[in-house]
Copies of this chain bind each other. A is one copy, B any other.
């Protein structure tokens, strides 16, 4: 053997990385970022109760985590008024999207998403050979009507929608999601990514029977709960689809510290309320910084503000590069016309002040 023999599908896949990590950029630049505002992490941190739970679990890390994730699933089911059989817990939404793609996608399977939406979903669909069809955004929103039409046209097996949306920060009212669901083609599963739902206005999350067979909703501890580095996400879906994950998932993939931290975070709803309040304040502050510098802050239902630079993608990319060069880690949408914007995560006052100081210089340098 001269080289590893991969499957034809694996051979054809590019060695892409959905996102370059900030640590990689820090190593390239030879110095750490001053403000980490690019990955929509919660700079406010996790609940102190969750930190204590993880620290206590550290000395028990010699034991595998419960492969049934019993305690956390029971707590999630109680929280969402469904049965534990409606819950799948996994290694972040990213990991769960990978399992979902494996269950549903084979070479040529049509899948619909929005042009410029979450790249990791695309990474997994392409990774199993699926064919992605992309509907453009309508203004700053994913466009349910266009997605629906595309799903009908392509006989899609999955339709991905993030509500609230990343990278634009916009949202649809829950009624729009119910409407979309009611009009789905017979063979289409709605993949509803609600990673930011804890920070969205009341009414954004529709009340839907968890046993609805053509819906899977994704939630995470990475955003409002401030546990991106713990890797715990979950799905709420009909029991048969939830059970199908057992066919393919890494059964011992969710470790002991991860389960303990997520459970403690879920139980600290008071902390979540604090985070919501801090989020509202930080949105106002960050939007003000944008306006003071001639950028248009888009309305946000998330933990970031997307700022319209009102010119083309090349200009926004220059602004981004100048911010990075000044130690401010931010990201931006990948495709036109969304790429007229930069995307800045909320931060504490230290981080936002650093952004505020760097932005005028970056805009000036970008020309």
Contacts and interface: CB of A to CB of B under 8 A. Distances in A.
Chain A binding surface, main DSSP class: loop
A41 interface: yes
Contact of A247 (B10, B94, B222): B10
Interface in A222-243: 222, 226-231, 238, 240-241, 243
A16 B245 CA distance: 10
A367 to B, nearest CB: 32
A42 interface: yes
B104 A227 contact: no
Contact of A41 (B6, B14, B64, B184): B64
A1 B188 CA distance: 8
Interface stretch (A19-27, A76-84, A202-210, A351-359): A19-27
Nearest to A102: B10
Interface stretch (A53-61, A146-154, A278-286, A336-344): A53-61
A48 to B, nearest CB: 9
B229 A256 contact: yes
Contacts of A92: 250, 252-253
A44 interface: yes
B250 A17 contact: no
A238 B1 CA distance: 12
B4 A229 contact: no
A234 to B, nearest CB: 15
Interface in A93-121: 94-95, 98, 102-106, 109, 120
A19 B67 contact: yes
B59 A51 contact: yes
A256 B23 CA distance: 12
Nearest to A188: B1
A105 B8 CA distance: 10
B15 A243 contact: yes
A43 B241 CA distance: 36
A90 B312 CA distance: 39
Given A10-B247, A189-B1, A21 B66 contact: yes
Interface string A2-42: 11111111100111111111011001000000001001011
Interface in A287-314: none
Contact of A61 (B16, B103, B229, B247): B229
Nearest to A14: B247
Nearest to A43: B62
Contact of A45 (B2, B15, B59, B66): B59
Contact of A230 (B43, B127, B222, B257): B257
A277 interface: no
Contacts of A228: 61-64
A261 B44 CA distance: 23
16 contacts: A1-B214, A3-B213, A3-B240, A4-B244, A5-B104, A6-B103, A7-B105, A21-B66, A24-B67, A45-B62, A54-B55, A57-B229, A60-B229, A63-B229, A120-B251, A257-B257
Q: What 5 A-B pairs come out closest when comparing CB atoms? A: A229-B256, A54-B58, A1-B214, A23-B66, A4-B241
